[in-house]
Structure 1
Amino acid sequence: MPERYTREINHAPILDGQNFPLWSILIEVELSAQGLWEVCSSDSSPGADALTVSNWNQLNVEAVQLILRRLHPEIIITVVDGSTVKNSKLLWNKINTKFASQTITNRGSTWVRSE
């Protein structure tokens, strides 16, 4: 398996619950740049070949690690459980479901208040 270059991300903010739109864009770009976005977004699972499974598992762990490094500890507590800590797609979906809906609700509340 070829060596992968993984660099620390410093430009993406820590997700604090209020900055999801910016956070999600920057994390998706970083995951894509590192070749990890497919394991977070694809419905496909690794093939039966042992090398493919091993490679997918490694990419999955790297994606989980990258995402967790950019979450506030209070957010980690709310989105990480036995399944999301082992599966980047489940982790991404849980974060997206929780915070994308809050962002839409907050924008709607702000808009209503400004009338």
Structure 2
Amino acid sequence: MAKKSASELADELAGLGEEIVKRATAETRKYVAQEIEEQFLGTPRAARKTYCGRTPDDCIMDALTDDEAASLKDARLQAVRERFEEDGPSDDFRAGILFAVRLFADPTFDY
């Protein structure tokens, strides 16, 4: 068995490091997407006690009215919130959440 040079070992370690980052990123994206889907869309495995008994629609409205969330200060989202105050979130809005969640969870999707 031939000894590897320091350069060859460094290249091998760099490759392993890249693979670890790739796998960790994919796993993190999967679990973050799963949590968002459970909270805002509900799934059979979602335990509503995790969300203080709030329904997915309640969680959507809570997020849209969160004064601390600077990312939700967008005028378009504020207009959506106003529309939803009476009848709750629309099916199209929920579909948009699902679309975003599934793209986020897909490790092959290149944004």
* TM tier, smaller: 0.3 to 0.5
**Hey, which of these two has a bigger chunk of helix by percent?**
2
Mark the structure with the bigger radius of gyration: 2
Normalised to the residue count of structure 2, the TM-score between the two structures is 0.35
Higher RCO (Cα < 8 Å, 6 or more apart): 2
